[in-house]
Chains A and B, each alone.
Chain A
Amino acid sequence: MERIVIFGATSGIARAVAEEFLAQGDELLLVGRSADALKILARDLEVLGGGKPVPWFIWDVLDFEGHAFRFRELISTHDVKGLFMAAGVLIPQKDCDADPAKTTLTFNSNLTGPAAVMGLFAEYFKEKRSGFISCLSSVAGDRGRGSITAYAASKAGLSAYLEGLANRIQHDGVLIQTVKPGYVRTAMTEGLQSMLIASPAKVARDIVKAIRCRREMIYTPFYWRYIMGVIRLIPESIFRKLGL
């Protein structure tokens, strides 16, 4: 049976996406870096899915040396029809400014690591001439942002990487999808108060539906398309004064 790999399964958004896939009858393979957390999540999804076992697999997106090996191991033990990539970190910019290692960590967790992993899956799906990759980028990557400089740049790079992948293999029956969520209520945004904040369940419904409809790029919730449309049009001189 073919499974959907949920990479960064413990993420608030990924968990909701996993539930949505499950409700639609898909089989899952959870991937993350903490066995304890994956075990608890796998049991939860098993109960939700009416007792169907949900396997899990340890893989750290920063394990650059090990990526090729982990990938072969995963592929040789499971049939895979799709990859949902959610791994990422949001480190406050002032921490990055104080410690360059944090800037590196931001780029490696959000861009370099996911790109390396997705590159492997992309080639595999291309060979099979089927499959999908859906990846959580962010509206933050649509413009250079002073308040979250490193995070926004890593997401901009991620969006560009996904666009490139799509251009390369879109003719081979493989879907490469860029997801740009606005604010979503998860551990990453804990404490954030905003009228615009969406629930992970809402975002997950949008994502799974967009995969069904084979859309290459979505904003979720939908109104972020318009918000970002306006934000992209703001001239640099004014944008700077907004302190975003």
Chain B
Amino acid sequence: MREPYLPRGQGRSYGDAGLPALHHVALNSSHLDHFISFDSTTGILEAEAGVTLERILNFCIPKGFFLPVTPGTKFVSLGGALASNVHGKNHHKTGSIEHFVIEMEVATPAGTFVCSLDQNRELFLSTMGGYGLTGAITRAKLKLKPVQNAQVECLRVKAANIDDMFGLFAKHDPDYEYSVAWLDTLAKGRKLGRGILMLGNHAQVNAGERKIEATEVSHKFSVSIPFAMPDFLLNEKFLTLFNRAFYLVSGNGKRTRENFESYFYPLDRIGNWNLLYGKSGFFQYQCVIPDPKSEEGILACLNFLSENRLGAFLSVLKRCGDDEVLLLFCKKGYTLALDIPFRGPETLKSLDRLDELVLKFGGRVYLTKDARLKPDMFRAMYPEFKEWMETVRRFNPNRLSSSRMAERLELWNES
């Protein structure tokens, strides 16, 4: 029998979804990084699962194509992106990456299968967003989307508080393919939830311009954080000032034309950005709150964050659309993603209370970013998990592939 394992991509998931369970080894996919075929009329790219999104972009942009859905970093593998069923700034329009996967091959402990919405459908729907628990995705066909240009037309608008922000989303979302808001989660009272909505569309070519402009896919980081920052940079005063400054200096109604890298992947330009959180590190917390209670729920979360002084640099709000996979995260509503500096056991307690609040509004937490959700809370947030686990068990009956997350959430227990 082969050694127990967990498929591993580029290790960019924040929590323990990507850490092998006890006595399991990481199954490195980084050598599975070859393209298999590309059809320039349909935009369908077939590649091995270890190919990074960066490699795909380097290849497809000069040919006039872009990723149909992309997370906020291009340093993830295709397999990892499928295993988390990643969503991007266009979720309100297109849904998660599942909608663009024509088919994939999965090496499960029960054998290797090609699956799609038409063929081995259950395997497809439980492997997409299945965090490696059905086995290893070995290759996939992804439908890329045609673009005229490597640039993005952006519009930045300021919201004075959260109600204002909800209004801006409602007003602009229909006209923009991409939208995401940065929130100052440390602002209080009337200013609660103030922030900047960043909208974007792929740029069209103007008359006389060449169709695809030089992509300027950068070969190195612009800056790199050399060592873990001292913890005082994370104290509340500094963070409050930082957030206030960020809000104040941003122009309102500013239109710009940006290279795709600075629009989609700002963090990729800062090498080792995670060291900004010092030696004690941080938790990423991302939840979704579905309509019709989404606005009310987000407001409650913001109040909670502000009262408990939990927020930090990067708090992000965006609208979601609908997905189909068995264990889905995104639901039509709002999703809020937060970096929460770890300040000891109180941080964990506060996050447990935040879970309860999220659950009260029918929401759930994104597992690829989680490292601390409790088994009962997970079951309450994801009632459909049983159906998913049934398929997982069928293809992986002896837990040959398993993660720390699966152990922590007690997924292998019967109920």
B-binding residues in A (CB < 8 A): 40-41, 43-44, 47-48, 50, 187, 201-202
Contact = CB atoms under 8 A, between A and B. Distances in A.
Majority DSSP secondary structure for residues of A touching B: helix
A201 B58 CA distance: 13
Contact of A44 (B31, B35, B63): B35
Q: Which of A43, A47, A50, A201 has the most CB of B within 10 A?
A: A47
A47 B219 contact: no
Interface of B: 31, 34-38, 59, 63, 219
Nearest to B51: A44
A187 B30 CA distance: 11
B34 A44 contact: yes
Majority DSSP secondary structure for residues of B touching A: mixed
Contacts of B38: 47
Contacts, number: 20
A43 B219 contact: no
Contacts of B219: 201-202
A48 B59 CA distance: 7
Contacts of A40: 34
Contacts of A47: 35-38, 59
A43 B33 CA distance: 12
A47 B58 CA distance: 13
Given A201-B219, A202-B219, A43 B59 contact: no
Contacts of A201: 219
Nearest to A42: B34
A214 to B, nearest CB: 25
20 contacts: A40-B34, A41-B34, A43-B34, A43-B35, A43-B36, A43-B37, A44-B34, A44-B35, A44-B36, A47-B35, A47-B36, A47-B37, A47-B38, A47-B59, A48-B35, A48-B59, A50-B63, A187-B31, A201-B219, A202-B219
A202 B34 CA distance: 19
Contacts of B37: 43, 47
Contacts of B36: 43-44, 47
B35 to A, nearest CB: 4
Top 9 A-B pairs, shortest CB-CB distance: A44-B34, A47-B35, A44-B35, A47-B38, A40-B34, A43-B36, A47-B37, A48-B59, A48-B35
Given A43-B37, A44-B36, 8 more contacts: A40-B34, A43-B35, A44-B35, A47-B36, A47-B59, A48-B35, A187-B31, A202-B219
A54 to B, nearest CB: 12
A201 B220 CA distance: 11
A48 B38 CA distance: 9
A232 B390 CA distance: 65
Nearest to B35: A47
Nearest to B38: A47
A47 B31 CA distance: 17
A44 B35 CA distance: 5
A81 to B, nearest CB: 26
A40 B38 CA distance: 14
A40 B37 CA distance: 11
A201 B37 CA distance: 22
Nearest to A43: B36
A180 B36 CA distance: 32
A13 to B, nearest CB: 15
A184 to B, nearest CB: 15
A44 B219 CA distance: 21
Nearest to A40: B34
